[in-house]
Amino acid sequence: MAGSIQNNHVFSSSSSPSSKKRMTPDDFNRDDDIITKKLPAATFEDPVSALANARHEFGEHGGVNMSIEASATFTVMEPETLSRMFTGELGPDRDFFIYSRHFNPTVLTLGRQMAALEGTEAAYCTSSGMSAISSVLLQLVSSGEHIVASPTLYGGTHAFLTHFLPRSSNIKTTFVDIRDLKKVKEAIVEGYTKVLFFESMSNPTLTVANIPELSRIAHEKGVTVVVDNTFAPMVVSPARLGADVVVHSISKYISGGGDIIAGAVCGAASLVNSMMDLHQGTLMLLGPTMNAKVAFELSQRIPHLGLRMKEHSHRTLIYARRMKKMGLKAIYPGLEDHPDHHLAKSIFNKEYGYGGMLCLDMQTEVRANKLMNGLQNNTRFGLMAVSLGYHETLMSCSGNSTSSELDENEQALAGISPGLVRMSIGYTGTLEQRWGQFEKVSHLI
Ligand X SMILES: Cc1ncc(COP(=O)(O)O)c(C=O)c1O
Long-range contact list for 22-30, CB < 8 A, 24+ apart? 22/58, 22/61, 22/62, 23/58, 23/62, 24/58, 25/55, 25/56, 25/57, 25/58, 26/1, 28/56, 28/58, 29/55, 29/56
**Beta partners for residue 263, in sequence order:** 126, 249
Contact status: 118 vs ligand X (CB under 6 A): no
Instruction: Print burial letters for 220-233: b (CB count within 10 Å at least 16), e (below 16).
Output: eeebbbbbbbbbbb
**Which one, 355 or 374, has the nearer CB to ligand X?**
355
Query: Counting contacts by CB under 6 A, is residue 230 touching ligand X?
Result: yes
Percent of residues in the chain assigned helix, strand, coil, to nearest 5: 40, 15, 45
Of the residues 233, 263, 334, 355, which one makes contact with ligand X according to CB under 6 A: 263
Distance of closest approach, residue 333 Cβ to ligand X, in angstroms: 15
Among 261, 335, 385, 413, binds ligand X (CB under 6 A): 261
* Residue 427 C-beta: closest distance to ligand X, Å: 19
Stretch that binds ligand X, among 57-65, 211-219, 225-233, 332-340 (CB under 6 A): 225-233
Any contact of residue 390 with ligand X (CB under 6 A)? no
DSSP 305-337: HHHHHHHHHHHHHHHHHHHHHTT--EE-TTSTT
319 residue type, one letter:
Y
Closer residue to ligand X, CB minimum distance, 286 or 431: 286
Cis amide linkage into residue 288, ω under 30° from 0? no
When asked if residue 128 is in the footprint of ligand X (CB under 6 A), the reply is: yes
Rounded to 5°, the CA angle 387-308-348 comes to 85
Interacting residue with ligand X among 92, 105, 129, 333 (CB under 6 A): 129
Stretch that binds ligand X, among 7-15, 61-69, 126-134, 409-417 (CB under 6 A): 126-134
Q: Which of 119, 151, 156, 334 binds ligand X (CB under 6 A)?
A: 156
Residue 384 in the binding site for ligand X (CB under 6 A): no
- The whole-angstrom separation of Cα 97 and Cα 297 is 21
Site residues for ligand X, window 393-412 (CB under 6 A)?
402
Are the beta carbons of 46 and 350 closer than 8 angstroms?
Answer: yes
Q: Would you say 238 and 200 are in contact if contact means Cβ atoms under 8 Å apart?
A: yes
Most distant CA atoms of the chain, gap in Å: 75
To ligand X, the closest distance from the beta carbon of 154 in angstroms equals: 4
Run of H or E including 371? helix 365-373
Which CB, 139 or 249, lies closer to ligand X? 249
Question: Which range of residues in 128-136, 273-281, 293-301, 304-312 is near ligand X by CB under 6 A?
Answer: 128-136
Strand order in the sheet with 122-126: 122-126, 263-267, 245-249, 224-228, 193-199, 146-149, 172-175
For ligand X, how many residues bind (rule: CB under 6 A)? Answer: 16
Nearer to ligand X, 39 or 130 (CB): 130
**Interacting span for ligand X (CB under 6 A) from 5-13, 127-135, 264-272, 368-376:** 127-135
Options 95-103, 224-232, 314-322, 363-371: segment touching ligand X (CB under 6 A): 224-232
C-alpha angle 317-318-322 in degrees, rounded to nearest 5: 115
Q: Which stretch binds ligand X (CB under 6 A): 151-159, 176-184, 323-331, 361-369?
A: 151-159
CB 393 to ligand X: min, Å: 16
> Which residue among 118, 228, 244, 361 contacts ligand X (CB under 6 A)?
228
The bridge status of strand 357-361 relative to strand 193-199 is unpaired
Amino acid identity, residue 33? D
- Region 310-369 residues binding ligand X, contact defined as CB under 6 A: none
Asked if 249 touches ligand X (CB under 6 A), the answer is yes
Nearest-CB residue for ligand X: 129
What single-letter DSSP state applies at residue 302?
G
Among the listed ranges 124-132, 335-343, 410-418, 436-444, the one in contact with ligand X (CB under 6 A) is: 124-132
Site string for ligand X, 95-114 (x = CB under 6 A): --------------------
In the complex with ligand X, the residue whose CB is nearer, 230 or 282, is 230
CA distance 55 to 202: 32
Site for ligand X in 193-222 (CB under 6 A): 199, 203
Angle made by CA atoms 155, 357, 255, in degrees to the nearest 5: 80
Nearer to ligand X, 111 or 129 (CB): 129
Site for ligand X, rule CB under 6 A:
128-130, 154, 156-157, 199, 203, 228, 230-231, 249, 251, 261, 263, 402
